[in-house]
Amino acid sequence: MTQTSDNATWLTQEAYDRLKAELEHLQGPGRTEIAKKIEAAREEGDLRENGGYHAAKEEQGKQEARILQLRQLLENAQVGIAPTVSGVAAPGMVVKVAFDGDEEDTLEFLLGSREDAGAAIEVYSPQSPLGSAINGRKIGESTQYELPNGKTMAVKLLSAEPYAA
């Protein structure tokens, strides 16, 4: 099982490779493309009324923010295979939980990075309120977590199985 610190993000090798390729594209060809768009718009004249220039600058800002986000994510990434031991909620596991002790009101999701959102199942981060509440819990254990409105919700871990893509 891959151990992760509180700041680490568990990623499959495929997700890591995909994000690294995206980062390399944004830092290389992506930056070149934006610079060309800005230069072409700049040549059109008055920048105060140039919609193309402002759109290109906004796109550049969003791209630089994504580059920063990817750098931080990849720097803190734990890459490995999904855990193979069932029964404990951990990054890389598909977990099923029941809310307020009602085993009819359940939710099943992958405990992992939002960057694994390409998965065929909903993904919750281990740093999210629900994810952090169940991370490390064994099947049958109950806990509580705080909802955005400040109230607390009881949750019970019903199952935890390794994710199989």
Q: Hey, what domains does the chain have and what are their CATH numbers?
A: 9-79 (1.10.287.180), 93-162 (3.10.50.30)
What is the distance between the alpha carbons of residues 10 and 32, in angstroms, rounded to a whole number? 31
Would you tell me how many other CB atoms lie within 10 Å of the CB of residue 141?
13
Cα gap 88→5, rounded to integer Å: 17
Q: What is the pLDDT of residue 3?
A: 39
pLDDT for the residue numbered 133: 94
- pLDDT (tens, 9 = 90+) of the chain, 165 residues, equals 333 444 566 677 777 888 899 999 999 999 999 999 888 888 887 777 788 888 889 999 999 999 998 898 888 777 765 555 678 888 888 899 999 867 788 999 988 876 665 567 888 888 889 999 999 999 999 999 999 899 999 999 999 988 766
- Give residue 2's pLDDT: 37
Residues 6+ apart with CB under 8 A from 149: none
106 within 8 A of 61, measured Cβ to Cβ: no
Q: How far apart are CA 75 and CA 155, in angstroms?
A: 32
Q: What is the pLDDT at residue 75?
A: 86
Length of the chain: 165
pTM above 0.75, yes or no: no
